[in-house]
Structure 1
Amino acid sequence: MIKLISSLALPLFVLFLAPLTARPLPIPKTDSLRLADPLPMDTSVLRGKLPNGFVYYIRHNEEPKDRVVMYLGTKVGSILEAEEELGLAHFLEHMQFNGTKNFPKNELVDYLQRAGVRFGSDLNAYTSFDETVYQLPIPSDDPELLKSGLQVMRDWAQDALLDEEEIDKERGVVLNELLGGRGAQQRMRDQYFPMILNDSRYAQRLPIGTRERIEGFGYETLRNFHRNWYRPNLQALIIVGDVDVADMEQRVKALFADLENPVAAPERTAYSIPLTGKNQFMAVTDAEMPQTVVQVIVKHPEAAVKTIADYRMQLAKALFNQMAGARFAELTRQSDPPFIQGGGSIGGFLRGLDAFTMYYAAKPNEMQRGFEAVVTEFERIKRHGFTATELERAKGNFLTSVESAYAERDKRQSESYVTTYLNHFLEGESALSNEDRYRLGKSLIGTITLSDVNALASQYYTDSNRDILIMAPEKDRDSLPDEQTVDGWLAAVKASDIAPYDDNVQDEPLLGDLRQPGTVIERRERPDLGTVELTLSNGVHVVVKPTDFKNDEIRITAFSPGGTSLYDDADFLSAAYAASVIGGSGLGSYDATQLTKHLSGKKVSVSPYIGERTEGFNATSGRKDLQTAFELIYAYFTVPRLDMEVFEGYMQRIKASLANRLDDPNAVFSDTINAILYNHNIRRTSMTVDQVDRVDPQRAYAIYRERFADASDFTVTIVGSFTEDELMPLVLQYLGGLPAADRKEEAPDLGIYPPEKGLERTVYRGKEQKSSVRLYYFGDYDYSEMENMQLDALESILNIKLIERLREAESGVYGVSASASYAKYPRYRYSFSVAYGTSPDKVEPLMASVFDEIDKIKQHGPAQVDIEKFVSEQKRQLEVQLRENGFWLGHLSGAYQRDEDPAYILTYLDELNKVTPESVKAVANKYLVEERLFKFVLMPETP
């Protein structure tokens, strides 16, 4: 039933209730805590080991419900490869999807797609130096599918077919993956890896391998690698989800007990990176490197985390990194920042090593200044340490994080547990229970002193095992400093006087006197959606959806029509950057740094935005900090601030980052596409260095004030862990009290559209023999919920067909994607694109294959099985999404922005039966029209 209540006003005393509070958390007991004790293992996971050495971890978890995540971890990576096997660990990972004992050829991918599992995003794997990991998230409410999922893991463990025809086809796929990764970063890495990895085996064992080995290895070489290393005493199966643990254990035992270790199996050597004690230096350049980046890496033996004392030290390092990060954030807010970005931290490096790393991206011609700034800050920390107030804030932030995680322990996603247990198996990392992580965090954080944290600087910032690496544009090669020069910079900083850090903390109310609270003039319940729609006395429309998806998560978003579309081209850049500039300037009497300090220990974030057609804000909060979130929202409307130092520094960093942007072939390609499609319109092109100066700070501030001067046309959506009664006092005071002028605004149609007829353009840029292809269809659109569903189906089905054709059948690409989008405002429009990368000689043949697959759908419609894959995928995704705050926030806000009834989502699954081969065929013929086709190709500069 829908109720409409007019002139509803709450009593004034309600407005001053205490803020929302989260569930009370138990105080951890500390009397039994002994630092020498080993870290406890999570007892909520069933852990076992079969006689053949195969390990398993099984845990029941219902987030998301009716889902299970399975990972197969194998301690097999590229580090184990002999010279003739380079790249085979990774190649073997590919082959696991191209035929196993129970799923020959590509039947595995096909079978799982029918169950709604997406290849690449759900079904996936990775190979690194030391391990190969396979992942499979599947529904657990289908007994047959669950059984098959376990069989997939069993096949991956030891039953790859490694068919010769499939091996040869996959060579092309892997070569395209290698090709796609080539560029400035890869070319420079080839030069500096031997240095930073101390000429160890790791420097010679990049997982991707080499072209020569991928093209030329023998079939038996791959099979021998598989026989030697894919064995149960190097493997673990991790299963977390909505399953019966005891039943799952019996299935694992039955399926995996017969795995066999090979006779005379090679030893699994544990390789490491030796520390030499010496310092090293290298400068590398590349013509396509867009900016200069400097890293200083000081390597140390890895500090294993086995005991409670080790865990305490790990927490101290986290506090150190957090405080260092805050200082560098402050440096970037200067009017003339010394670098584009910079910082440093203590952390893991590679197997067996930790590292203290300093880095910065230099402004043009200011490498020395950036170097001295970064080193000076860490010298300041080393000499004078952090302050007590810095540590207090860092501890507050840590405790907020720990408490929030513990409050959500029964809502924790299965994927996060899988990652924990995987790391326990592969790295020997601790696998703490939710309770132990909370107990240890709460207990230990108070024992960490300022001297504990400050001592880390001297321990890790040392003068041995130090690498200095400079990566710069080729055109700057002759001006780069040598090792002696950089050592001189370092010595000069160490010899200089450095003052202690001044922790300027402000403590005063963020807001002054508040305006009179608003009232509710209309209230409408939507039981079907679980929402309440409110219209406040100042015109603000509020959509409220309380949920139990999380225990301590509240999300808010708001929009108002207008945006940058209301301003002419001369003001566009000022309008486009207004929210970023004002949002980064602080609020009221607080500058940005003081505001960050003021909000320490709070789980809250608020960010205003101004888009092309709307302005608004996005916010997140925990329950106890929800009032703070509303105060910040109110402040961004009523007391925004323009900090000229922040503005000038921000613009300087943007200008510096753009200086060499066009040395990047992909940037040139993207700019060319946009220039052609939108006739060089300033609203569709990337910013240039010259245009940075067109951002007027005073005009940006004025535009911001204009866009947030009138709340009467704002729609605010609030989703999360609250009740309406708890929320209403905050809504009435901080939203209902916002200024309102009752303006009537609409975002105009700027008329920025691609040409009516398609065209072709080839861009020649880049040194690598690789190409990128972008195919687009644009045009007017018959917008409706059903039309959107049909176009979504075409996107999904074409993705399947292009992967089958271009990747699996023709071995011409590593990845290919089809993407559809549609808009209701300012005009009914659609775009449909196909994108892939390949070698230059395959651009045209593969393009012909793309059009052939499109024509098949246009002539005959898709196969029914592909329709079923789309329907299954949509159902399985929506089942999970309907239990997520983020999904509902976007869905509700988006529907109101498009003037649609959000209830359409409730019948979406039923409407899927209207997707048929004929309906998809019709939409393909309607929109994939040749005269609307735009072809863009990026080719290398030289053949």
Structure 2
Amino acid sequence: MNDQSRSIIPAVGGFALLFFVGLLLAGCGSLFPEKSGTQHRLDNRAWPHELSDLPPDPAIHFGRLDNGLRYLLLSNKEPQNRVGLYLNVQAGSLQESDQERGLAHYLEHMLFNGTSHYPPGTLVEYFQSIGMGFGADTNAHTGFAETVYKLVLPSADPGMLDEGLLVLADYARGALLLEEEVERERGIILAEKRARDSVAARVRKQQLQFEFAGTRVAKRDPIGSEEVLLEADSARLRGYYDRWYRPERLMVVVVGDMDPAQVEPLLISRFSPIQAAAPGAVDPPLGTLEEEGSTVLYLHEPELGATRVALGTVFNQTPQPDTSSWERQQLSNYVATSILANRLDKLVRRADSPLVSSQAHAGTFLQRLGYARLSAVVKGERWQEGLALLDQTLGQALESGFTPAELERVKRELQAYLEKQLQTAATRNSMELAATMIRKLNNQEVLLSPQQEEALYAPMLEAMTLAEANQALVGLWQGERRLLEVIGAVDLEQGELSARQQILAAVEQQTGREMVDWKQREEVAFPYLPPAEQPAQVVAQENYPAIKMERYLFQDGTRLHVKQTDFQENQIQLAVHFGQGLRSEPLAGMAAFAEGLLRESGLGRLNREQLEETLAGTNVQLQFQVGRESFVLAGSGLSEELELLLQLVQTQLLEPVFREKAYLRTRTRLLQMYDQLENSVEGQQQLVGEGFFTSNHPLYTMADRQQVMAIELDEIKAWLQPILATAPLEISIVGDMAPEKARELVARYFGAGQRAAAPAADIQQVSFPAGARRLERVKSEIDKALVTVAWQTDDFWDISKTRRLNLLAAVLGERLRLKVREELGATYSPVVYNRSSRVSKGFGILRSQLSVAPDQALALAGIVQEVAGSLARELLSEEELDRSLEPTLTSIRDFQRSNSYWLNAVLALSSRHPRQLQWPLTILSDFAAITPEEIQRLAGRYLQSGQAAVLVVSSAQE
């Protein structure tokens, strides 16, 4: 059980930077090199369960063809009528030679540019014609030891399934790799490389080289070498393709709303003829990690806006079959690391802590490379204290061990996670399930059902002792190897000692430091606010049978909307809307400050630390948000946890708390956020973009640093406390819950108070800068520009027009994909969307955004305007309309089978906007009725070149 894939394991303190190795282009695969020297290899041609004492999920059908290709089929009903087809190639950047660095990813792109049955330029259009979105439903990724191709079909129709399998079979052995297409794709590859480039990405690459030094991983970033990318040709790509795309390295995964008995003969027919085109190649040796001594990585990167410190260790591992004993050890490792993460989290919240945030992570990468790591973001220049605190925390845990209370907390958390997996198993999402299965298979992990996982892990957790957890921690950190990192804004090059000497000294000078007492603190009971002696009275009830929704009005004006669904078994989502949100903000920037402050303060008598300990063993989540027209308490949990969720809402409303320590911690994080935003084109876009397009309207403009830093704690408290206490409530609940039960629970905690609405603040008119152009420069070493071309449209409330504006944006996006990406190779992924305002009358923005080379920015802004103008001049064909409309209809069908749609798009705020309750009845038919003439009329009205505003944020310097 490896922390990158085993489903029992949720994230511990966020992803470690070591885990970022797979995030640039893909997830992580597994590599089992042939025997060479001291290297060992598991048989990755066998199913993992064939090497294990663990039986696989009995619902999965496993198969193997005579040519060596493996496949698995799993019927899963959500989303309805959708089937995911995946071709998993167990080869990636690690299989590249020095002269091929980047070709695995290049080849992934090329398989969309011409195969045996789909000439260049036809495949994406075919996908769109049957209702598949490019990117959402058809995509691929390349990792270190895997390349995975995804097709999500909109139907389980046998003809569509057969065609989808034909596409995958073409990926497997039908690539044309035409020279002219290789040349055409080169610009897109380089544009993707630029789009993904950032200071954080460059730091991660250097960390990769540092932490995995001595192994091939450190030299095989999937994006590759620009020199190789510039020289790539059809012959080189063909060489990689023929060597590694072999049947025994291929796996077809089919998951979705289909009958495996129907799919299997189609799959066998399409993939049985596939044969290898070249002799098999031996995986290059992975290399070994140094396991002794201390190594230091120091990077002065002021553009990061903060400084991160880390303490880690790495070690070599021999690949092991995924057996019950191996799982027990990995579970113990996870528990130990989780306790350590909880300790660091408590240290972050101590008064005058040098830490702003922290992480703890441990696991195995590629079955061969073990690691454990503690990291933290520090305040200002306090990196020495932060690094010393990480070292001290680890040393104390290794020497003195954990406490029984710490172990019990993590046990409760994992038991709750297992219970949730069990209760929600019947309505798992097919695409998420398929991605997890592929990740596990490439990691040589047995595919277990939630029932099997609960049967395996629950007894292990119950029996786990403190000695086992302590022993696991010692096992992870027993090696002599130590990796020390200081990365970010701090400059260590100015002192008498070298940066390395300063960093080593920070962890060596530990004498006399006070040890933290980790004994259990006094517990605070929750819930402590009693429900009303008598339930609140319902004074009115309405039934909406067309959308299967109930509405209740209580005596104090509280409104409850309930919709029972079966989309997500045993799960509910909740939203409590109240007040006017941003419309009532007294000072610019207060809303962002308030969200962090309430999150960090905890609830009433419980500080944040106590609240987390109290909720350990549950699956409830509750978050305070400030929207443009209301405040929101958004929550989720299992259906049986609805009462606990309502108790949390009640406490937040009646006993809010605004703690000084939480205020200071939030202030520090906001300050670091501004430091980061100001040093990248993406960040500067956030800082100035909305302000430019709305002429600095307060509802849309991000407050500047000085405004936010001037906000005082008492000002936030004075703003929010009366609103929380007195604003009328609109409670919406969607999920697997009977309306009567939800009504009874809400009546126990709400509906009998004294709540009255305050007058709504006036909203000033938004002024769009039509015809204006602004160039914003950023001091950054990243060679990149963001181009945004925008047009004013209209507000949200003419829903038929809004739907057509959204489709107009999709049509423009498709034209820009063809022109700017496919023809010019100038950008990787143009983004186009319309956002119509719900609060500003007559205002909306349709915008297009491209990440491009700085010297091309202004020219491309002109091309975007020309392409947009062509929509007004030329009537698009029915075929072109359908390429945008059919994927939209498919997405709507999926969206309508989600709790989020009904909660956030229909029920929430429907007491203020009753028309929302009618929208689900017409959404599909109204979209389907859109004509080319309507799109042309909207383009003529809104997308004229003189009406556009252009913002270019560029790293280019004058």
TM-score, scaled to structure 2 = 0.90
Q: Does 1:788 find its partner at 2:802?
A: yes
Residues 398 and 502 (structure 1 numbering): CA distance in 2 closer, same or farther, change over 3 Å? Answer: same
Pick from 734, 737, 745: which aligns with 2:749? 734
- Per-residue CA shift, 1:549-608, capped at 9, x if unaligned? 222211110212422322433xx4445533432343222322221122112212212223
- Structure 1 residue 360 displacement after superposition: 1.3
- Structure 1 residue 756 displacement after superposition: 5.5
Q: Which residue of 1 aligns with 2:130?
A: 115
Q: Does 1:184 find its partner at 2:204?
A: no
- Per-residue CA shift, 1:893-918, capped at 9, x if unaligned? 34615442422212221122431111
Pick from 333, 337, 356: which aligns with 1:321? 337
Q: Does 1:482 find its partner at 2:496?
A: no
- Structure 1 residue 89 displacement after superposition: 0.8
Pick from 847, 850, 857: which aligns with 1:833? 847
Structure 2 CA distance, aligned partners of 1:243 and 1:514?
A: 47
Q: Which residue of 2 aligns with 1:151?
A: 166
Pick from 312, 327, 340: which aligns with 1:311? 327
Structure 1 gaps of 5+ residues are 1-35
Residues 786 and 269 (structure 1 numbering): CA distance in 2 closer, same or farther, change over 3 Å? Answer: same
Q: Does 1:86 find its partner at 2:104?
A: no
- Structure 1 residue 158 displacement after superposition: 0.8
SS, match of residue 886 in structure 2:
helix
Structure 1 CA distance, aligned partners of 2:278 and 2:760?
A: 75
Pick from 895, 900, 914: which aligns with 2:929? 914
Q: Does 1:648 find its partner at 2:661?
A: no
Q: Which residue of 2 aligns with 1:7?
A: none
Structure 2 CA distance, aligned partners of 1:795 and 1:913?
A: 16
- Per-residue CA shift, 1:591-632, capped at 9, x if unaligned? 221122112212212223333421131111212222111111
Q: Which amino acid aligns with 2:517?
A: P
- Structure 1 residue 126 displacement after superposition: 0.8
Residues 868 and 877 (structure 1 numbering): CA distance in 2 closer, same or farther, change over 3 Å? Answer: same
Q: Does 1:541 find its partner at 2:555?
A: no
Q: Which residue of 2 aligns with 1:491?
A: 508
- Per-residue CA shift, 1:176-235, capped at 9, x if unaligned? 112223332344455554332224322222211222211113321211221222111111
Contact 1:559–1:715, Cα closer than 8 Å, also in 2: yes
Residues 500 and 136 (structure 1 numbering): CA distance in 2 closer, same or farther, change over 3 Å? Answer: same
Residues 771 and 574 (structure 1 numbering): CA distance in 2 closer, same or farther, change over 3 Å? Answer: closer
- Per-residue CA shift, 1:783-825, capped at 9, x if unaligned? 4111011101101111111111111111111111111110232
Contact 2:565–2:734, Cα closer than 8 Å, also in 1: yes
Task: Report which stretch shifted further, 641-650 or 786-795.
Answer: 641-650
For these two proteins, the number of residue pairs brought into alignment is 904
Q: Which residue of 1 aligns with 2:573?
A: 555
Q: Which amino acid aligns with 1:524?
A: E
Q: Which residue of 1 aligns with 2:600?
A: 584
SS, match of residue 290 in structure 2:
coil
- Structure 1 residue 37 displacement after superposition: 7.0
Q: Which residue of 1 aligns with 2:417?
A: 401
SS, match of residue 832 in structure 1:
strand
Q: Which residue of 2 aligns with 1:50?
A: 65
Pick from 242, 247, 272: which aligns with 2:262? 247
- Structure 1 residue 539 displacement after superposition: 0.4
Contact 1:615–1:707, Cα closer than 8 Å, also in 2: no
- Per-residue CA shift, 1:837-875, capped at 9, x if unaligned? 122343344333322321221111322112222332232
Structure 2 CA distance, aligned partners of 1:513 and 1:193?
A: 53
- Structure 1 residue 744 displacement after superposition: 4.6
Pick from 857, 862, 867: which aligns with 2:881? 867
Residues 854 and 688 (structure 1 numbering): CA distance in 2 closer, same or farther, change over 3 Å? Answer: closer
Residues 898 and 166 (structure 1 numbering): CA distance in 2 closer, same or farther, change over 3 Å? Answer: farther
Pick from 945, 949, 956: which aligns with 1:934? 949
Structure 1 CA distance, aligned partners of 2:919 and 2:266?
A: 41
SS, match of residue 890 in structure 1:
helix
SS, match of residue 340 in structure 1:
strand
- Per-residue CA shift, 1:373-428, capped at 9, x if unaligned? 22222222222222211211211121111111111221122224323432343221
Structure 1 CA distance, aligned partners of 2:439 and 2:795?
A: 49
- Per-residue CA shift, 1:257-305, capped at 9, x if unaligned? 1111234332234524433433311212235332222222201234746
Q: Which residue of 1 aligns with 2:817?
A: 803
Contact 2:727–2:758, Cα closer than 8 Å, also in 1: no
Task: Report which stretch shifted further, 489-498 or 553-562.
Answer: 489-498
Pick from 833, 836, 852: which aligns with 2:866? 852
Residues 924 and 342 (structure 1 numbering): CA distance in 2 closer, same or farther, change over 3 Å? Answer: same
TM-score, scaled to structure 1 = 0.91
What is the 5 A alignment of 1:697-846?
697-712=713-728, 714-737=729-752, 739-751=753-765, 753-755=767-769, 757-763=771-777, 765-778=779-792, 780-781=794-795, 783-846=797-860
Task: Report which stretch shifted further, 493-502 or 436-445.
Answer: 493-502
SS, match of residue 663 in structure 1:
coil
SS, match of residue 304 in structure 2:
coil
Pick from 675, 682, 693: which aligns with 1:666? 682
Residues 693 and 89 (structure 1 numbering): CA distance in 2 closer, same or farther, change over 3 Å? Answer: closer
Q: Which residue of 2 aligns with 1:23?
A: none
Structure 2 CA distance, aligned partners of 1:871 and 1:890?
A: 23
Residues 406 and 378 (structure 1 numbering): CA distance in 2 closer, same or farther, change over 3 Å? Answer: same
Q: Does 1:905 find its partner at 2:920?
A: yes
Structure 2 CA distance, aligned partners of 1:378 and 1:305?
A: 30
Structure 1 CA distance, aligned partners of 2:103 and 2:252?
A: 22
Residues 680 and 487 (structure 1 numbering): CA distance in 2 closer, same or farther, change over 3 Å? Answer: same
Structure 1 CA distance, aligned partners of 2:676 and 2:167?
A: 48
Q: Which residue of 2 aligns with 1:198?
A: 213
Contact 2:492–2:499, Cα closer than 8 Å, also in 1: no
Contact 1:173–1:807, Cα closer than 8 Å, also in 2: yes
Q: Which residue of 1 aligns with 2:381?
A: 365
Q: Which residue of 2 aligns with 1:374?
A: 390
Structure 1 CA distance, aligned partners of 2:736 and 2:498?
A: 56
- Per-residue CA shift, 1:742-791, capped at 9, x if unaligned? 33532420445444553343535433433221111125558411101110
Structure 1 CA distance, aligned partners of 2:775 and 2:584?
A: 33
Pick from 70, 90, 104: which aligns with 2:119? 104
- Structure 1 residue 512 displacement after superposition: 3.7
- Per-residue CA shift, 1:39-87, capped at 9, x if unaligned? 2222221111112111111111112221111111111211122222221
Pick from 311, 319, 324: which aligns with 1:296? 311
- Cα RMSD after superposing both structures: 2.5
- Per-residue CA shift, 1:664-689, capped at 9, x if unaligned? 34333443434544555666554555
Q: Which amino acid aligns with 1:470?
A: V
Structure 2 CA distance, aligned partners of 1:808 and 1:630?
A: 51
Residues 229 and 381 (structure 1 numbering): CA distance in 2 closer, same or farther, change over 3 Å? Answer: same
Q: Does 1:160 find its partner at 2:178?
A: no
Residues 130 and 917 (structure 1 numbering): CA distance in 2 closer, same or farther, change over 3 Å? Answer: same
Residues 423 and 490 (structure 1 numbering): CA distance in 2 closer, same or farther, change over 3 Å? Answer: same
Q: Which residue of 1 aligns with 2:623?
A: 607
Residues 55 and 620 (structure 1 numbering): CA distance in 2 closer, same or farther, change over 3 Å? Answer: same
Structure 2 CA distance, aligned partners of 1:209 and 1:54?
A: 28
Contact 2:418–2:450, Cα closer than 8 Å, also in 1: no
Q: Does 1:348 find its partner at 2:364?
A: yes
SS, match of residue 161 in structure 1:
coil
